[in-house]
């Protein structure tokens, strides 16, 4: 069964799984949670907890989980999975790079840490990102001043992919204008992200307003082993196609 737990900080929803989870559980617990978020115009920070008494999910519940998830992914601002069960922890960790929001796995004893992490996530992130597994390209949509948490989320997505792959085929930055950083911490985290990943990206594409053309040499200087190319803001698909193709050098 699934139960809503009411001991969470404001802005965080907690769902605890025990015994066998059925389709009815999703219809009576998860779907109302998502419907309420839509009505209230808010995004969801979810802690999903499975203790040692959790046994299984019925096939019908698994299908309902998939349907609900596909329809509501963009509502999620972050998801923490708290469990010591290996068959939950490992698939979640491996699949986290496919999610459009940050996903982290915590041990059962780290529940409070998971809650603190969810609370710390930025509201209205300056960076939205999505890893396209078929093209092996990380698309980064920049709209607001960059925060340290944005680069933590980017690093988690990239690192989850790199655990099972040698490199990313490409990174595409999509921005009308460069908004700068929220503070010095955001800028330093940006530098660290580049330092940790610059040798693991084959191509960098900047799909941006022409006024950002001056950033291309700057990107090339940082990603020393990657080809860098600029595209117009409206040429995002072309940028992704180019970034996913093999480098010429």
Q: 103 with 96: CB under 8 angstroms?
A: yes
Instruction: Give residue limits of the domains in the chain.
Output: 2-120, 127-244
Instruction: Report phi then psi at 187, rounded to 5.
Output: -65, -45
Q: What is the pLDDT of residue 215?
A: 59
H-assigned helices in 41-146: 59-72, 86-95, 111-120
Low-confidence residues in the chain, pLDDT < 50: none
| CATH class of the domain defined by 127-244 | alpha beta
**Six-digit token string for 175:** 């921005």
The reported pTM is: 0.55
Cross-sheet strand order for the sheet of 137-142: 127-132, 137-142, 168-175, 201-208, 227-232
Fold of 2-120: Rossmann fold (3.40.50)
Q: 244 with 170: CB under 8 angstroms?
A: yes
106/93 Cα distance (integer angstroms): 10
């Amino acid at each position: 069964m699934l139960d809503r737990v009411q001991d969470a900080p404001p802005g965080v929803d907690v769902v605890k799984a025990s015994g066998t989870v059925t389709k009815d559980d999703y219809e009576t617990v998860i779907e109302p949670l998502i419907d309420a978020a839509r009505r209230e115009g808010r995004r969801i920070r979810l802690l999903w907890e499975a203790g040692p008494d959790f046994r299984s999910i019925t096939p019908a519940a698994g299908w309902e989980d998939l349907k609900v998830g596909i329809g509501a992914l963009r509502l999620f601002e972050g998801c923490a999975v708290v469990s010591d069960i290996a068959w939950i922890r490992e698939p979640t960790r491996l699949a986290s790079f496919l999610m459009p929001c940050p996903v982290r796995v915590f041990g059962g004893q780290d529940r409070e840490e998971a809650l603190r992490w969810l609370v710390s996530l930025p509201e209205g992130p300056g960076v939205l990102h999505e890893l396209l597994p078929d093209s092996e390209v990380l698309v980064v949509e920049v709209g607001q001043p960059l925060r340290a948490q944005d680069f933590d989320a980017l690093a988690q997505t990239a690192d989850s992919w790199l655990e099972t792959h040698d490199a990313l085929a490409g990174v595409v930055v999509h921005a009308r204008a460069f908004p700068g950083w929220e503070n010095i911490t955001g800028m330093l985290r940006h530098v660290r992200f580049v330092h940790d990943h610059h040798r693991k990206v084959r191509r960098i594409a900047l799909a941006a307003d022409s006024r950002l053309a001056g950033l291309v040499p700057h990107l090339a200087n940082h990603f020393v082993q990657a080809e860098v190319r600029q595209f117009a803001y409206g040429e995002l698909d072309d940028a992704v196609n180019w970034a996913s193709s093999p480098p010429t050098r």
